[in-house]
Amino acid sequence: MYMRKIIIFVTLLVSTQIATAQEPRFGVPATQADIDKRFWSVFPDGEFLPEGEGNVAEGRELFEYNCNICHNFPDENDPNKNAIGKLFGGHETRGTANVDRTIGSYWPYPTTVFNYIRRAMPLIAPMSLTNSEYYSLTAYLLHENGIIAEDDVVNRDTLPKVEMPNRDGFVNAYPEVPEKYRTKP
Ligand code: HEC
């Protein structure tokens, strides 16, 4: 028994020494191009929105083929699909205790719609569409929520200017963030 303990101790000692003797094996330093390729975030004010342009009609068609299997069309009311993520309606519940949270009733920034669906949707194939197609889907979602007109085009200039119904519905929990922790001036 005593001998076994010694063997275990020696084995541990040797293996730690082997581990510390190895050089750290870092990879190739990331270039700015590598970092840019992985940087997908669009900021609420529209910074980093990509090139491209979309419209409501094209968005409606894309929605039918890529999204409707899980999400309702505005005039459908399938409770199962609503449980997944209700995308339309709910305006009349704003300001009540039970807000029906949708893009139209809840989301404060139009740019987040683009950012979210490009990053996460369709659920089974995120980022699989082009930037223009994601602009079209954003246009369609905003239009069916009564926020933009049928013939409005959506691109990096027009999207940040769209005013969301609930844009003033959020308060900053940390209004006094020290300068050094702010991501932007
Ligand atoms: C395979 C099913 C599926 C498909 C297809 C799909 N979604 Fe979703 N979607 C989901 C699920 C599940 C959630 C909820 C995710 C969560 O809460 O984390 C969601 C959430 C969302 C939300 C956020 C809703 C909210 O207010 O919280 C949006 C917007 C959205 N999807 C848009 C789309 C669009 C646009 C497409 C088509 C390009 C699409 N989805 C395709 C399953 C799907």
pLDDT digits (tens, 9 = 90+) for 144-170: 999 999 999 999 999 999 999 999 998
Ligand 1, atom 24: closest residue by C-alpha = 85
Tens-place pLDDT, residues 3-60: 566 555 555 545 555 555 577 778 888 899 888 778 889 999 999 999 999 999 999 9
CA-122 nearest atom, ligand 1? 41
DSSP type of residue 129: S
Mutate to test the pocket of ligand 1, among 67, 82, 133, 137 (most ligand atoms within 8 A of CB): 67
Query: How many helices (H) and strands (E) are present in the chain, helices listed first?
Result: 6, 2
User: Is residue 83 exposed (0-12), middle (13-18) or buried (19+ Cβ within 10 Å)?
Assistant: exposed
**Would you say 110 and 160 are in contact if contact means Cβ atoms under 8 Å apart?**
yes
The structural domains of the chain, ordered by start, are 91-168 (1.10.760.10)
Tens-place pLDDT, residues 76-110: 989 999 999 999 999 899 889 998 999 999 999 99
Question: How many alpha carbons fall within 13 Å on the CB side of residue 131?
Answer: 13
Rounded distance from Cα 172 to ligand 1 centre (Å) = 26
Angle at 37 between CA 31 and CA 40, to 5 degrees: 130
Average pLDDT, the chain: 88
Rounded distance from Cα 137 to ligand 1 centre (Å) = 12
Mutate to test the pocket of ligand 1, among 71, 72, 134 (most ligand atoms within 8 A of CB): 71
CA-129 nearest atom, ligand 1? 38
State whether residue 33 is helix, strand or coil.
Answer: helix
pTM: 0.83
Read out DSSP for 54-105?
Answer: EEHHHHHHHHHHHTTTTS--TT---HHHHHHH--S--GGGTTSSS----TTT
Whether the bond between 122 and the residue before it is cis, its omega within 30 degrees of 0, is: yes
